[in-house]
Amino acid sequence: MSKPTPPKGLGPLAKREMRFAYALLLPTFLVVLSVVLFPLLANFWIAFKPIQLGDLRTPSVLVNERLMDKLETVGAEGDIRYRVRNSSRKSDIEDIVMTDTVPASLTILSVDERCIQDGQNLTCDLGDYEGGKREDIIVRVAATQAFVDAPDNIKDTKPVFEFVPENALLSGDFTFENFSKLFDSSDFWPVLWASLYYTIFGTLGALVMGLFAAQLLNMSFRGRSILRGLFLSPYVAPVIAVAFAWVLLLDAGPGGTLNALLQQLGVIEAPINFLGTRAVTLDFGLFTFDFPVALTVVILFEVWRYFPLAFLFILARMQSMSTDIYEAAEIDGATPIQQFWYISLPQLMGILAVLFLLRFIWTFNKFDDIFLLTGGAAGTRTLTVNVYEQAFAVSNLGAGAAVAVVVFAVLLFFALIFFKFSPEDDA
Amino acid sequence: MNRIGNIFILCLLSGAFWGAIYGILVTLLALLVSGFEFQPQVIAATAAGIAAAGAMTGRPAAQRTRGTFFAAIACFIGVLLLLTGFKPLGLGLGTYTIGQIIFVALLAWLVVATVEMIGRGYGPATEKRYNVEVVILRFLKSFGLVFFTIAVALPFFVMVMMSLKNQQFLLANPLDFSLDLSVGAAAIFRSYIELFTQYNFGTFLINSTMISIATVVLTLIFAVPGAYAVARLKFPGQDFLSRSILLIYMVPMIVLVIPLYAVFSQMGIRNTLWGLLFVYPATTIPVALYMLQGYFRGIPAELEEAGLMDGLGRMQVILKITLPLALPALASVSLYIFMIAWNEFLFAFMFLDSVNLFTLSRGIAELNTSEVPRQHLMAGAVIATVPVLVLFLWFERFLVAGLTAGSVKG
């Protein structure tokens, strides 16, 4: 007698459910595939290509058509010259075919060897043009009486081209130059360090401030909901609006509010260029320290803008804590600070860890904030700003993509570390 | 009874601290509102704060009455006036008299009320550690509230005020935010009017609204079925999907920009709103899916099973049972997606070249040149901020519940 075994594989009902689930997920999958996963791979592809921003314009064939001689008598002979060229200096064009119609008032005597004459129609197979190539196609014609009476403008019929342009994105040229230039350049390490400083301090600052703010609003008092709305507003407002408000607030020129305030208070003598000063040297007697001014200010902006997120989640967690444990602690005589340290904080560790992970990655990915505040000047150029700088300011798409690959690699590295050390239960 | 205990000393210290801080803040406020060059009298305000704290919390907690409160206020004002030679805000009382009186009264009330709150129910004698900690924490909390409020509000305050002031005035006197109401609303809101009449902000506003709403609709159309599948249906890879969908949200946008820019350029859809409508939902669908599946899991499966028993198909179950029950989550997810799309800067900046296609973020970026006066830039910032902020504050509770419920467990 055979032993009963559990059924193998999925039953018909389970299969139907599976198919239904896949059908529901398919649209999402396709969209994410085309806008996230495909570009991610395409970025690697571009990083290994020598491609400039201008190469995105596909090359085309340009032509200048001219009748070289004046034909004033019947039977006078002259040349029609087609000066054909590749619009791009770098990209090739393949299989160029030109067709044109010569006015009926001109008799075609001879045509270029690549052209075929069919009545007044010309079809010229010009083959392939490499980047920058130009050549002349000559067609010899003789004038008829009609032309002498009323000369046709030969430009009235424009030559038509068929061709296959080379696509700079799809071409077979590959190079390691983008990466070798990137790692050789003197500002690679400063950029990486700026990124790490920005990420670490921005994340920690936002978390600590969020924790502090959550403690403040975890008690009931009049105006609490107004303050909660206010505290969340930096996160809700458009980044471009608040970034420019900060820029004008911190402006070093006349009209900068903060500098004027500090001068009025007598704290500083001359205006400080908060967003334009790379570093000031602080002298502590025993040692000196180059304090990065602009980088600190953009970190402060990051903290200011993203503490609300931490605040929101920490507050939600705190309000879901049971009060029994606090009542028990009260009876046992635990002081408020002890209650915070030994009861609240351990319970908040889970959400703090998750927030740290998310904010760390998002801060590392952040581009707009620094780009709008400083444009990456004065020691605030992070990796993400460098992507833009290389690809669009220097117009070297390949180099930009190479920096983006580094961004992705660093991110992956952190992600692996986090997942290795992260506790199982949360997230 | 020991009259000078630790609580009393703490109260004096907080009186000194708040005297100095409020002294600076109120003076600056007076300066910003009036345009007169007031100078904070920090030392006098500190001393006055100590005196007022002594008057307020020197009495045993049970004996502090309304009279004590006003005595402390009087004490503060008296000390401040005497120490500053009757120039409480750094200028003689002759200038801006009524305003000065109001601001000094406000200053005194703030200091005394704060000190009263800090010491309420305790002191002045030495008390045990628990009560000392309560007083210290009250002090820290009052400091935190003032600090956060000012830090958060200051940029917004500057944004609004700069949008209403002419740049020439502000360059001459950057701290004078006083508004001359007599010139009429049209003159005060001139920069706003010019943005709409000369800088196409009406078009930008419409573009932003359309893009944001379309993004919300598209995102929900894609994310609702997906979230339902992940939350309710069993299929191979379900566990993996529900964990990893958020990973998509970790991919840096800047890595996607170059390939998308290149491909969209060659396809000719870069400088179109369709291009944005392709990118925005793709970046929001994963987070919407994640939030929604968290909420769907919370809906009792029995309700849906009852529907199935009664002969509804799966699609009908979703439409007739799950979605109505998930309305709060749908609302909060919609609001969040709207916010993301409305505030998006990077792709709008990279993709859009034609002025008539600009979204608000893109349009404001264009104002950041030396040829455009600053009040226009700030007015643009206000125009972009107000709708999303109002919408958010209006539905705040909704949003907060939805945001935190979907993603935070236990």
What are B149-168's pLDDT values in tens digits? Answer: 999 999 999 899 888 888 77
CB contact under 8 A, B364 and A244: yes
CB contact under 8 A, B361 and A216: no
Place of tokens 């859809």: B269
Q: With 0-12 CB in 10 A as exposed, 13-18 as middle and 19+ as buried, what is A222? A: exposed
CB contact under 8 A, B137 and A337: yes
Give the end of a domain, one of B122, B146, B179. B179
Mutate to test the interface with A, among B37, B254, B383, B407 (most CBs of A within 10 A): B254
Which residue is closest to A43 within chain B, CA to CA? B259
Average pLDDT over residues B304-330: 87
Residues B251 and A409: their CA atoms lie apart, in Å, by 11
Strands A279-283 and A288-292: antiparallel
CA-CA-CA-CA torsion sign (B36, B41, B46, B50): negative
Indicate the DSSP class of residue A54. G
Do residue B132 and residue B210 come from a single domain? no
Q: Which residues of B touch A249 (CB under 8 A)?
A: 154-155, 158
pLDDT bin (cut points 50, 70, 90) of residue B400 is low
Q: Which residues of A touch B260 (CB under 8 A)?
A: 35, 39
Which residue is closest to A238 within chain B, CA to CA? B343
CB atoms within 10 A of CB A286: 5
pLDDT of A214 > 90? The answer is yes
Q: Is B70 on the interface with A (CB under 8 A)?
A: no
Task: Say how many CB pairs under 8 Å bridge A and B.
Answer: 279
Do residue B257 and residue B333 come from a single domain? yes
Q: Is B81 on the interface with A (CB under 8 A)?
A: no
How many structural domains is chain B composed of? 2
- Contacts of residue A131, defined as CB under 8 A and 6 or more positions apart, other chains included, come to A59, A86, A88, A89, A90, A91, A92
CA distances from B79 to A320, B43, B90 (A): 47, 11, 15
pTM of the model: 0.86
Residues B256 and B276: their CA atoms lie apart, in Å, by 13
Residues B383 and B189: their CA atoms lie apart, in Å, by 12
Distance from CA of B276 to the nearest CA of A (A): 11
pLDDT of A426 > 60? The answer is no
Indicate the DSSP class of residue A53. G
Residues B364 and B375: their CA atoms lie apart, in Å, by 12
SS (H, E, C) chain B: CCCCCHHHHHHHHHHHHHHHHHHHHHHHHHHHHHCCCCCCCHHHHHHHHHHHHHHHHCCCHHHCCHHHHHHHHHHHHHHHHHHCCCCCCCCCCCCCHHHHHHHHHHHHHHHHHHHHHHHCCCCCCCCCHHHHHHHHHHHHHHHHHHHHHHHHHHHHHHHHHHHHCCHHHHHHCCCCCCCCHHHCHHHHCHHHHHHHHHCCHHHHHHHHHHHHHHHHHHHHHHHHHHHHHHHHCCCCCHHHHHHHHHHHHHCCHHHHHHHHHHHHHHHCCCCCHHHHHHHHHHHHHHHHHHHHHHHHHHCCHHHHHHHHHCCCCHHHHHHHHHHHHCHHHHHHHHHHHHHHHHHCCHHHHHHCCCHHHCCHHHHHHHHCCCCCCHHHHHHHHHHHHHHHHHHHHHCHHHHHHHHHHHHCCC
Residue A427 has what pLDDT? Answer: 40
| CATH hierarchy code of domain A61-165 | 2.60.40.290
CB contact under 8 A, B235 and A261: no
Residues B199 and B193: their CA atoms lie apart, in Å, by 10
Which residue is closest to B380 within chain A, CA to CA? A241
Domain ranges of chain A: 61-165, 178-421
Range of the domain at B305: 192-407
From A24, A35, A241, residue closest to B384, measured CB to CB: A241
Q: Which of A203 and B30 is assigned the larger pLDDT?
A: A203
pLDDT of B274 > 80? The answer is yes
pLDDT bin (cut points 50, 70, 90) of residue A9 is confident
CA distances from B305 to A67, A386, B312, B317 (A): 83, 54, 9, 9
Q: Which of B79 and A7 is assigned the larger pLDDT?
A: B79
CA distances from A115 to A85, A86, B224 (A): 17, 19, 61
CB contact under 8 A, A216 and B145: yes
Average pLDDT over residues B385-398: 85
Residue B146 has what pLDDT? Answer: 93
What three-state secondary structure class fits A96?
A: strand
From B137, B158, B285, residue closest to A257, measured CB to CB: B158
Q: Is B1 on the interface with A (CB under 8 A)?
A: no
Q: Which residues of A touch B20 (CB under 8 A)?
A: none
Average pLDDT over residues A31-38: 88
pLDDT of B66 > 60? The answer is yes
Residue B103 has what pLDDT? Answer: 92
Residue B407 has what pLDDT? Answer: 47
Question: Average pLDDT, whole number, for chain A?
Answer: 85
**Structure token digits, residue B76:** 């503060």
Indicate the DSSP class of residue A327. H
Question: Nearest-CA neighbor of A60 among A99, A87, A85?
Answer: A87
pLDDT bin (cut points 50, 70, 90) of residue B409 is very low
What three-state secondary structure class fits A374?
A: coil
Residue A12 has what pLDDT? Answer: 82
Give the end of a domain, one of B179, B209, B234. B179
Average pLDDT over residues A80-85: 85
CB contact under 8 A, B400 and A34: no
Distance from CA of A210 to the nearest CA of B (A): 10
> How far does chain A reach from its first CA to its final CA, in angstroms?
49
Residue B187 lies in a domain: no
**Structure token digits, residue B364:** 């404001």
Residue A287 has what pLDDT? Answer: 82
Residue B267 lies in a domain: yes
Give the DSSP letter string of A212-246.
HHHHHTSS--TTHHHHHHHHHHHHHS-HHHHHHHH
Average pLDDT over residues B305-309: 88
Q: How many CA atoms lie within 13 Å of B122's alpha carbon, on the beta-carbon side?
A: 23
pLDDT in tens, A134-178: 888 888 888 888 888 877 777 777 888 888 777 777 777 788 888
Average pLDDT over residues A23-48: 89
Q: How many CA atoms lie within 13 Å of B354's alpha carbon, on the beta-carbon side?
A: 9
CB–CB of A167/A58 below 8 Å? yes
From B148, B250, B260, residue closest to A231, measured CB to CB: B148
CA distances from A346 to A132, A153, B316, B407 (A): 69, 88, 45, 20
Residue B186 lies in a domain: no
Residue B39 has what pLDDT? Answer: 85
CB contact under 8 A, B381 and A241: yes
Q: Which residues of A touch B396 (CB under 8 A)?
A: 225, 228-229, 232
From A28, A46, A241, residue closest to B258, measured CB to CB: A46
pLDDT in tens, B169-193: 777 777 777 777 777 788 888 889 9
Average pLDDT over residues A341-353: 90
Do residue B119 and residue B85 come from a single domain? yes
Q: Is B29 on the interface with A (CB under 8 A)?
A: no
CB atoms within 10 A of CB A350: 17
pLDDT in tens, B195-237: 899 888 999 999 999 999 999 999 999 999 999 998 888 888 8
Residue B404 has what pLDDT? Answer: 59
> How far does chain B reach from its first CA to its final CA, in angstroms?
49
- Is 1.10.3720.10 the CATH classification of the domain at A178-421? yes
Average pLDDT over residues B10-39: 88
CB–CB of B84/B45 below 8 Å? no
Distance from CA of A244 to the nearest CA of B (A): 8
Q: Which of A92 and A305 is assigned the larger pLDDT?
A: A305
Q: Is B378 on the interface with A (CB under 8 A)?
A: yes
CA distances from A19 to A12, A313, B2, B334 (A): 10, 37, 80, 28
CB contact under 8 A, A237 and B343: yes
Residue A213 has what pLDDT? Answer: 94
pLDDT bin (cut points 50, 70, 90) of residue B403 is low
The answer to whether the bond into B124 is cis (omega within 30° of 0) is yes
What three-state secondary structure class fits A251?
A: coil
Residue A306 has what pLDDT? Answer: 94
Q: Is B377 on the interface with A (CB under 8 A)?
A: yes
Do residue B245 and residue B104 come from a single domain? no
- Cα–Cα–Cα angle for A318, A235, B358, rounded to 5 degrees: 155
Residue B410 has what pLDDT? Answer: 32
What ipTM does this complex have? 0.90
Residue B408 has what pLDDT? Answer: 40
Give the end of a domain, one of B133, B157, B179. B179
Question: Average pLDDT, whole number, for chain B?
Answer: 86
Which residues numbered 210-249 in B keep a CB inside 8 Å of some CB on A?
221-223, 225-226, 228-230, 233-236, 238, 241, 248
- Contacts of residue A156, defined as CB under 8 A and 6 or more positions apart, other chains included, come to A103
**Structure token digits, residue A378:** 């004065």
